[in-house]
Structure 1
Amino acid sequence: MRKLLLTLCVTAFGSGAMAWADCPASADTSNELLNLIARAQGAENATQGQRISNQMWQVWLRAPDEAAQAALDAGMRRREVFDFAGAIREFDRLAAYCPNYAEGFNQRAYIHFLNGNHEKALVDLDVALSLQPYHVAAQSGRALTLMNLGRIAEARAQMLLAVENNPWLSEAALLADGAPLGRANKEL
């Protein structure tokens, strides 16, 4: 009987650990991110700015536990090989397991964006930002999504916030005069 119980536990844990446990609360990374934002704002060159941007990603990609990290990593691996349906399944699983972990929603939004499902992307980005207001990548992703939805004034305001928080974002180029979110855009 003991051997059967052990086999059942190992099988259950290996195939569906998320169904057997609750996701722990996500760590409060606000102070860490505010510090990185301040450092990005004060960075003297693109090399420093990119290093700080990478450190921000390290914070956002830190899942609450091993099961959540495994789902996040699996979804990202699927995205890298353009298995968007598989990535969505992993991020759906992650969002269901850890509904308070912003990055699960941000990553799922990115897949929706890549698939042209901008309305779905916007919903997930709004959730991600409600959970982690200092998620600069979600801020810029939201701006890009709004831009693709034709909501240019909102997109510009969102991108200005993202670039204020991290002036080294490549998306900042969209704010240049004549660019889609620049001041010369007639839709503003």
Structure 2
Amino acid sequence: MIRLPSLLAAVTAVILALAPPASARQDDARLDTLFRVLQDTRDDAVAQATQDAIRSIWLEHPGPEIRDLMEEGVQYLFAERFTDALAMFDRVVDLAPDYAEGWNRRANTHYLMGDYAAAVADIRTALELEPRHFPALAGLGLIYLAIDEPGGALRAFDGALSINPHLKGVRARADELRSDLAGEAL
């Protein structure tokens, strides 16, 4: 049986996702409502639909050149052509330095290339532009794990979970780290 609040939240998320963008970026007016739905829902399907809507809004950009560069960069990432992806995302952040998702995608590319310092710098910029960017925080946690800083990883994962409590993999990793760190304290 579907609860009325869950159904209402799902319908709201879909309507908001299909509405015309206010600014098509991290300051898009639809995001505040979607983040409230994400915090309030207990329904996994609603949470997933809401996360997808948020990510779609973050990817939107009013400039066709930026949209094309982002699409090409993502395709290069999936093809594991990291140097080509980096070139696309470099162009994105040069042309649209206020576009958080461009910085986040470039951070992902740096991470995959093993350049953790550059990835952290780009994540910090993405978070300055969009402090609720839970994938960037989760990515920061992965970087801290890669450089063997479990305390930093836990803080980053907890930050992501405070924004989006539905990140099951992040929650499991945070719980594991919390347990490991508690064991070290003994």
TM-score (norm 2): 0.79
Q: What is the aligned counterpart of 2:161 among 145, 163, 185?
A: 163
Closer, same or farther: CA 34–143 of 1 in aligned 2, 3 Å = farther
| Consecutive unaligned residues in structure 2, runs of 5 or more | 1-22
Higher relative contact order (CA 8 A, sep 6+): 1
Closer, same or farther: CA 28–156 of 1 in aligned 2, 3 Å = closer
| Consecutive unaligned residues in structure 1, runs of 5 or more | 1-24
1:100-159 superposed Cα distances (whole Å, 9 cap, x missing partner): 111111001101111222111101100111111111111111122122222221221121
Closer, same or farther: CA 94–58 of 1 in aligned 2, 3 Å = same
2:178 maps to which residue?
A: 182
Closer, same or farther: CA 74–41 of 1 in aligned 2, 3 Å = same
1:2-24 superposed Cα distances (whole Å, 9 cap, x missing partner): xxxxxxxxxxxxxxxxxxxxxxx
Closer, same or farther: CA 84–187 of 1 in aligned 2, 3 Å = farther
Structure with greater helix share of residues: 2
Closer, same or farther: CA 151–93 of 1 in aligned 2, 3 Å = same
CA contact (8 A) 2:25 2:58 kept: no
Take 1:139 and 1:34, find their aligned partners in 2: how far apart are those partners? 18
Identity %: 26
Number of corresponding residues? 161
Take 2:62 and 2:153, find their aligned partners in 1: how far apart are those partners? 31
Take 1:31 and 1:134, find their aligned partners in 2: how far apart are those partners? 14
Take 1:27 and 1:116, find their aligned partners in 2: how far apart are those partners? 28
1:113 maps to which residue?
A: 111
Q: Would you say 1:173 and 2:172 are equivalent positions?
A: yes
Alpha-carbon distance, 1:28 to partner = 5.4
Q: Which has more radius of gyration? A: 1
CA contact (8 A) 1:153 1:187 kept: no
